[in-house]
């Protein structure tokens, strides 16, 4: 892959590709402190649930390094304030809280260590989260590829690729696994208004790897399904409730309803870290609302009447009855999800 999403550098900075600028400009930002990482997550320099989790982990390491404390308790109190701050960067993707809690628990367990030792442990843990993410995506690719037939045309919504993760991707990881098995697969990418993750990111990312991709306007999916041009849908997720309801990019629900109506399989690929077992259903998932200028303008240019009211929910919930299967690193969950998801966690 001729690009990377994010990494911790030798100089202890966080480098990430600026996804707001893709595909017209390929620029990498070098972030030197945790506030810069927080802003990068909030402003969607880096986005996608697993990538946000990894960015938070790296950001927390930069935060830990900046604390001036010689005793455990002072360090822990300062560090937990940074964790609370990082947690508020974006609300829907559970991976942010998941990564933050994982590092917080590490610090709780390190109470008999010196501050430099704890900071080193945080560094190691953040790199572990990064490396595990790529490994997990490859496992999901392995399981997911079994569900898609050779020669299939697969529709995807948003970007659940290498750009949304530490590398390889969740939904697009399944596509990559098929390609690695020499299967023929082509992708239909929804443009994904208003941030255009499909048009800007999925199209670009797949083209970098020479994977066939065709871009469509979001409102074309129904026609293509009705014409029999889509064999399967595969998307990622930002948070999944214990009953299998899925929060993903706004517009996913519409695609899922169309898929069911047209008897097209609708798959979700997501790591177990995206499943929030505390939640009984998708109704409990917080939905991020973003600035309405993302809707009323296009690339910084006003397109709607000045002063018009607008809504900009960034995610929606797809109820579990529309989902054919959820692909994870531990295997594939099928309905009824309450049981199949619980079984995966106990594997």
Interface residues with ligand MRU (CB under 6 A)? 47-50, 93, 158, 160, 164-165, 170, 197, 235-238, 248-249, 314
Bridge-partner residues for 8, per DSSP? 14
Q: What are phi and psi of 214, to 5 degrees?
A: -125, 130
Residue 294 is encoded by which pair of tokens?
A: 């993302």
Closer residue to ligand MRU, CB minimum distance, 147 or 237: 237
Handedness of CA 276, 158, 149, 180 (dihedral sign): negative
Min separation Cβ 109 and ligand MRU, Å:
29
Q: Which residues pair with 7 in a beta bridge?
A: 15
Give every CB contact of residue 121 below 8 A, 6+ residues apart in sequence: 106, 107, 110, 113
Q: By C-beta, is 122 or 237 nearer to ligand MRU?
A: 237
Q: Which of 18, 118, 20 is nearest to 63 (CA)?
A: 118
C-alpha angle 275/261/179, rounded to 5°?
A: 60
Q: What is the DSSP string of 156-177?
A: E-S--SGGGSSSS-SHHHHHHH
Nearer to ligand MRU, 82 or 158 (CB): 158
Identify whether 343 is a catalytic site residue.
no
Q: Which residue is nearest to ligand MRU (CB)?
A: 236
Strands (E), 238-324: 239-241, 246-249, 265-269, 275-276, 297-298, 301-302, 315-318
Residue among 110, 190, 238, 245 flagged as catalytic: 238
Choose between 51 and 122: whose C-beta lies nearer to ligand MRU. 51
- Least Å distance, CB 57 to ligand MRU, is 16
In the complex, what is the shortest distance from the CB of residue 92 to ligand MRU, in angstroms, rounded to a whole number? 8
The tokens describing 116, both together, are 């430099």
Nearest to ligand MRU of 44, 148 (CB atom): 44
Positions marked active-site:
238
């Amino acid at each position: 892959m001729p690009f990377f999403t994010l990494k911790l550098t030798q100089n202890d900075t966080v480098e990430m590709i600026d996804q707001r600028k893709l595909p017209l400009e390929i620029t990498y930002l070098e972030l030197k402190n945790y506030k810069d990482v927080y802003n990068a997550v909030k402003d969607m320099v880096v986005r996608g649930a697993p990538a946000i989790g990894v960015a938070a982990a790296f950001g927390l390491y930069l935060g830990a390094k900046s604390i001036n404390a010689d005793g455990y308790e002072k360090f822990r109190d300062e560090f937990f304030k940074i964790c609370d701050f990082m947690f508020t960067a974006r609300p829907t993707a559970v991976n942010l809280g998941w990564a933050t809690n994982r590092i917080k628990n590490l610090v709780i367990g390190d109470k008999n260590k010196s501050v430099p030792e704890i900071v080193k442990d945080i560094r190691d843990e953040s790199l572990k989260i990064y490396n595990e993410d790529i490994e997990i995506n490859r496992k999901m690719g392995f399981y997911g590829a079994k569900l898609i037939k050779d020669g299939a045309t697969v529709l995807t919504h948003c970007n659940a690729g290498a750009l949304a993760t530490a590398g390889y991707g969740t939904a697009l990881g399944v596509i990559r696994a098929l390609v690695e098995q020499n299967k023929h697969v082509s992708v239909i990418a929804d443009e994904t208004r208003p941030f255009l993750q499909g048009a800007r990111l999925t199209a670009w990312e797949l083209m970098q790897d020479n994977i066939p991709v065709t871009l469509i306007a979001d409102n074309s999916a129904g026609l293509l399904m009705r014409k029999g041009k889509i064999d399967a849908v595969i998307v990622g997720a930002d948070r999944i409730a214990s009953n299998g309801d899925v929060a993903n990019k706004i517009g996913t629900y519409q695609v899922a309803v169309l898929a069911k109506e047209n008897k097209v399989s609708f798959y979700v690929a997501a790591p177990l870290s995206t499943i929030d077992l505390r939640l009984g259903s998708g109704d409990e998932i917080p939905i991020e609302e973003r600035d309405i200028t993302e809707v009323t303008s296009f690339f910084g240019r006003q397109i709607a009447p000045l002063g018009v009211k607008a809504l900009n929910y960034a995610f929606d919930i797809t109820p579990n009855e529309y989902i054919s299967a959820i692909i994870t690193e531990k295997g594939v969950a099928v309905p009824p999800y309450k049981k199949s998801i619980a079984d995966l966690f106990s594997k």
